[in-house]
Structure 1
Amino acid sequence: MRGFNLTPQQPANGLTVLELFCGGGLGAIGFKAAGSDIVKALDFDKNAVKAYRHNFGDHIEQADINEIDIDSLPNTDVIFGGPPCQDFSVAGKGAGADGERGKLVWRYLEIIAAKQPKAFVFENVKGLITKRHRPTFDALIGKFNEIGYEISWQVINAWHYGVAQKRERVFVVGIRKDLGFTFEFPKPLEGDYQTRVLRDVIEDLPEPCSQSNGGHLSNNYGTDYEMANRKESYEKPGATVTAHHRCSYTHPGEEQRRFTVRECLRIQSAPDTYVLPDDISLSAQYRIVGNGIASRVAWYIGRALADQLASASN
């Protein structure tokens, strides 16, 4: 049962990666499995940093990206990660690039301009390309071009790439212009396109036990039985796992309950080897999972990027 893994390990591809806004590392799962070497990772959130360190080691640092000395960051082939996206969310206040978190987008650009990696991968919410925020998005693409990058971007639905979840996110990939090519987004592997449903990824998991500490079990099987609004179906992909997933949807089984953290991890295509430490609160665990990049999507992007960079250097 604990062998769930949608990100099979690929051979080392020789690429070094600096990960910014790394969260708990769901995206890192995919990039590492694609064969890349993440040499440094940064995040501001202490719980996310704790989760990342627990799963990947000590190359993670808790830091405010606005305060960090850019010269102290390592030079790497790739910079990966998207700034926190709440200011661009359709569901949020929509402050955009003027919001405190929105401003991090420009700091991200500043770091790429200074470091000039061969490539960068930027992930964000679909709200970034809505009418309200499209001028910001277009300005950002223009700036990436100005600092020397050929840009490709696409709205990717995780369900099209073998993930049992309808999750749409904007991915922007920049390739340094002197490398002479533009990134092409990968096509889904055979059998992946709109195929995986909840039954495929969570049916074998045990029912959670309710415990006095809110059902907080080790290995992330706990739940605290909060009621939710809409019952999901085993025969369909899950709705988008959000940072506040505890409130929105109920498990498709007979008992009305919310999804456990482990179920949410599975729906995010994270392998069972990824475990959130027990001393992180349940609400923080849900937040880490909901804010993460679907691991299998990161695996796809990481593989495609490595292949295309290798082809360009031959």
Structure 2
Amino acid sequence: MGFEFVGGVGRAFGHVLRPYPARDIPSGSMLELPGRGPVFVTDSGPRDAPVVFLMHSVLTTGLLCWYPVIPELNRRYRVVTMDQRWHGRGIRSDTFDLRDCADDAVAVADVLGIDRFTAAGFSMGGGVAQLAWRRHPGRVSGLVLCSTGPYFSTRDPDRRAQSHRTARVLTGVYRVMPSPRAARLDDTSAHTTVWAMRQFLSTPLSHMGHFGEGLGAFDSRPWLGEIDVPTSVVVSTRDRVVEPARQQLLIDGIPGARRFEVDGGHACCVLGARWFIPPFTDAIDAVNDTVALRPAGPQPMEGTSVT
């Protein structure tokens, strides 16, 4: 099961409410994916720039997870976010599977007319990004994997028990608090704390069991060595949800993967945004610079540690 993430996100969301300025949040719209359903997507930045897809963590939304870094990326990248299945305004389906989430991302690229893109994922989104490469290798030009690993399950009984307790608390909060209307989700004039709470409550926590099952089923260790695109791994060195040793497995397993470090925990993309943004943008640049210089055919990045 992937319930360790429930406890981690419960702690992380408390940090999200220590607001990083919600400035320049891009507007979005519902996009109909043929044969799949409607999904909320933002598409910002220069149209002719390299494309970065940002895949969010569990129990957040595309904007809630990534809003601090988007303005910086938009200086030189076209940035796409989307709400994953059963998150925010994502697709509603009978099951929750990270493979479907990966296919949804490529379907968004199809509708937007995007051929290839860098897939950047935080936590759960890192699994989605890896699967996007695995299932659609011709579409993913590079990977940036943040605070994530090659698997999400845990056998530690204490951590599992803590996560189940947190899940019960969060479910109770969701039942008491009303689900926000779309107009309120798009209202960025409110205080960052209010905006973030609305984003959080847009994900039905009654599906946490399905999220846990979907996360628990993911394991990329058997095929990590096959990844043949430039890859950066952003390691959160104080992470207690996905421990740094597990993040290091990506660097050890993916040929030529480069390590970047952020001095933060599992909520560093928002809680520690001022420390997260520089290494994350460096990681994005490293992948895209390599893609631009790369000759035709597989040519993995030179392994380098960046701290």
Q: Same fold (TM over 0.5)?
A: no
- Give the TM interval when normalised to the shorter protein: 0.3 to 0.5
TM-score (norm 2): 0.32
The structure with more helix, counted as a fraction of residues: 2
TM-score (norm 1): 0.32
Pick the structure with greater CA Rg: 1
